[in-house]
Amino acid sequence: AKNVDNYKFTAKAPSAQGSIVPTSVELQEDGKTVIARFEADALVDNTTYEVTAQNIIAAKFNKLVEFEGTVTVKEDTTAATLKSVKYAGGNNITATFSEPVAIQGAVVRVDGKNVTVTDVAAATKAGNYTYTINVGEDLAKLGSHNVTIVGLKDLAGNESTTLTGSYTVSNDTVA
């Protein structure tokens, strides 16, 4: 299930795109679902693809029946939303979004003060859109802090409205 060569996506007419192979596939914890990733712009909006999965070996090493189906890629017209913000220690916060984003082009404010995003690390697990954001200054002051993000765009260019969240820093009471 983890071999990209086992998966083929063929664009149906009127598209002339032909067949494409994912750059990676990731079997999910349920053992039945695979998330396929592609090169940027490999999938064409508003196109239906015939999907074939073959030579798939189950956990007990028996060969599974070939799968055939279709999937339609729709144009992304929905902007990202902010799901959570957490303090991550030192100069870092983590922000989790509903989809992949280009955080470095956005304005980030903590407690009303613009902060410079100096470094960003995105989660690498498919479906996890959590970014560790270094904002260049210590955010460890005890208490609750408000985060505002303006001008954030997803990877399709959809700009979010002003996004807000908060995080709390407390004393470590565990011995």
Q: Per-10-residue mean pLDDT for the chain, 175 residues long?
A: 86 86 86 83 89 80 80 92 92 90 89 83 79 78 91 93 92 65
Q: Give the per-residue pLDDT at 159.
A: 96
Q: Give the per-residue pLDDT at 26.
A: 85
Number of residues that make up the chain: 175
Q: Give the per-residue pLDDT at 83.
A: 97
Torsion of CA 36, 99, 157, 146, to 10 degrees: -160
Residue with token string 């260019």: 157
Q: What's the whole-model pTM score?
A: 0.74
99 by Cβ neighbours in 10 Å (0-12 / 13-18 / 19+) ranks as middle
Q: What is the pairing mode between strands 107-110 and 92-97?
A: unpaired
